[in-house]
């Protein structure tokens, strides 16, 4: 009942500090086709430096949806949560993408994931998350919760850290927006022909934030000691104003 209480507060009265950031409108599904010129270099042989991926937002002037949370916990250190999204709702071509967020300090407090659609009273998902074993970048796979995104709909998602289960007003909350769009035939062809290391670059150039971050994170998970891959992810994060997360990720691999 307490989880639903938080979801209700986010959707209603307790939404005071979030509402201005979540006036997102969704129109017809948009097909993103990357520009004909390829601005990032193709994958080079191992041992040679590569250009950093360049994220190109598909639209200018979309409403802001990113929410950054932080708060003190008594005598303990200040803790920050960051949703790893652009300031505007990020795009994906995946029905069940991964969502990424950052935790600045290890915690044993309860964590909650909430997903909803604007102007709807019933959340798509409210669930508890297992506290991470270490701080840094965290990942939530929507497939693990059987959540599927409808094309052309903007979803808001939140991660809440709960210092006091009896006083939910003290929650530390971060969040962002995600919208699923169709995959263009041009993009599909490019992906089919691309080497694995090139795929995040193509997604970034096409403005597909969640797919760029997810495929790059897949490579990092496969080779966690590869500093160059972390530098590439840091470059993406810096481009959307997440310099703190970028610096932490490279320094704490």
How confident is the prediction along the chain (253 residues), in pLDDT tens digits per residue?
Answer: 445 455 544 544 333 333 333 333 333 334 444 444 443 333 444 444 578 999 998 776 666 788 877 655 544 568 899 999 999 899 999 999 999 999 999 998 999 999 999 778 789 999 999 999 999 999 999 999 999 999 999 999 999 999 999 999 899 999 999 999 999 999 999 999 999 999 999 999 999 999 999 999 999 999 999 999 999 999 999 999 999 999 999 998 7
pLDDT for the residue numbered 56: 92
pLDDT for the residue numbered 64: 75
Closest CA to 2 of 171, 156, 121: 171
Q: Hey, which bits of the chain come out as E strands? A: 68-73, 76-83, 90-92, 98-103, 110-117, 125-129, 136-141, 154-162, 172-180
The reported pTM is: 0.79
Beta bridge partners of 70: 80
Answer for the pair 226, 50: CB distance below 8 angstroms, yes or no.
no
- CATH placement of domain 2-29+51-251: 2.60.40.10
Helix, strand, coil percentages (3-state) for the chain, rounded to 5, are 30, 25, 45
Is the backbone of residue 191 left (phi > 0), alpha (psi -120 to 50) or beta? alpha
pLDDT (tens digit per residue) in 145-165: 999 999 999 999 999 999 999
Backbone Cα Rg of the chain: 18
Kindly give the interhelix angle for 243-251 and 227-239, rounded to the nearest 10 degrees: 170
Using CA atoms, how far apart are residues 101 and 249, in angstroms rounded to an integer?
12
- What are the tokens at 151? 């094309």
3-state secondary structure of 197: helix
Using CA atoms, how far apart are residues 33 and 185, in angstroms rounded to an integer?
8
β-sheet with 136-141: strand ranges across:
68-73, 76-83, 98-103, 136-141
Using CA atoms, how far apart are residues 8 and 122, in angstroms rounded to an integer?
8
Residue ranges covered by each domain of the chain: 2-29+51-251
Provide DSSP, 226-253.
-HHHHHHHHHHHHHTT-HHHHHHHHHT-
Answer for the pair 156, 15: CB distance below 8 angstroms, yes or no.
no
């Amino acid at each position: 009942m307490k989880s639903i209480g938080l979801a209700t507060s986010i959707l209603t009265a307790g939404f005071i500090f979030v509402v201005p950031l979540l006036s997102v409108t969704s129109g017809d599904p948009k097909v993103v086709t990357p520009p004909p010129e390829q601005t990032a270099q193709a994958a080079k042989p191992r041992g040679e430096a590569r250009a950093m991926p360049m994220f190109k937002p598909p639209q200018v002037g979309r409403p802001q949806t990113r929410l950054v949370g932080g708060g003190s916990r008594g005598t303990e250190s200040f803790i920050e949560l960051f949703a790893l999204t652009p300031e505007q709702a990020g795009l994906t071509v995946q029905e069940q993408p991964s969502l990424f967020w950052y935790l600045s300090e290890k915690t044993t407090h309860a964590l909650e994931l909430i997903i909803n659609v604007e102007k709807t009273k019933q959340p798509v998902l409210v669930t508890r998350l297992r506290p991470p074993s270490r701080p840094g970048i965290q990942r939530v796979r929507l497939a693990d919760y059987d959540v599927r995104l409808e094309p052309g709909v903007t979803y808001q998602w939140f991660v809440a850290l709960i210092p006091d289960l009896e006083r939910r007003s003290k929650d530390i909350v971060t969040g962002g927006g995600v919208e699923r769009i169709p995959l263009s035939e041009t993009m599909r062809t490019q992906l089919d022909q691309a080497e694995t290391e090139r795929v995040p670059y193509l997604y970034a150039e096409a403005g597909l934030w969640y797919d760029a971050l997810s495929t790059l994170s897949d490579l990092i998970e496969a080779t966690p000691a590869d500093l160059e891959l972390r530098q590439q992810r840091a470059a993406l994060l810096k481009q959307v104003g997440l310099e703190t997360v970028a610096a932490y990720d490279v320094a704490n691999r």
